[in-house]
Amino acid sequence: MSRLREAYARYITGLNAIQPLFLLGVRAYWGYQFAATGWGKLTHLGGVTDFFTSLGIPFAGANAALVGSTELLGGIALLVGFGGRIAALPLVITMLTAYATAHRPELLGVLSNPDGFLSATPFLFLLASLTVLVFGPGKLSLDALVFRPRQRVPSGDATLVAAK
């Protein structure tokens, strides 16, 4: 049993080593996709407003601008990994709203037709946002650089705060 535990420990250590790269990949790809989609909405606001109106979304123009801005700014935040978990929450809400409005049949069929739910446009955007929301942006992010844990280092009578 000892060898099994050691093998498992090495396996987990290896996966933990690639976790920052995985989170960087998710953030970089989907952050770019969100930013590009948001920019597209903002530069074609009339068409997006018309689409939102056809879905029965109230205040379609304001909501189109809000969604476009959320996707653009949230996407940039994911891309660079700054405020990742903060940015991920409105992106999750935006994707859930997309399911509830533009992809209602896919949402309602999540159990009866899971392929439809999984292949709907918002799914991978939602999954990427949830990944960053739950796991954070990772060690290869501005969040990790700016908000890295501090340790207290005694120096004579005074206590200094130093970065690890």
pLDDT digits (tens, 9 = 90+) for 38-67: 999 999 999 999 999 999 999 999 999 999
Is pLDDT of 103 > 60?
yes
State the total domains in the chain. 1
Output the pLDDT for position 153: 64
Boundaries of domain holding 26: 2-163
Is pLDDT of 147 > 70?
yes
Q: Record the pTM.
A: 0.87
Is pLDDT of 11 > 70?
yes
Task: Give the strand pairing for 158-163 and 150-155.
Answer: antiparallel
Rounding to the nearest 10 degrees, give the CA dihedral for residues 151, 156, 157, 161. -20
Output the pLDDT for position 146: 93
Inter-residue contact 22 to 136 (CB < 8 Å): no
Is pLDDT of 160 > 70?
no
With both helix axes pointing from N to C terminus, report the angle between 122-135 and 84-101 in degrees, rounded to the nearest 10: 150
**How many of the other CB atoms lie within 10 Å of CB of 110?**
13
**DSSP β-bridge partners for residue 160:** 153
Output the pLDDT for position 150: 73
Residue whose structure tokens are 């996709």: 33
Q: With pLDDT > 70 as the criterion, what percentage of the chain qualifies?
A: 91
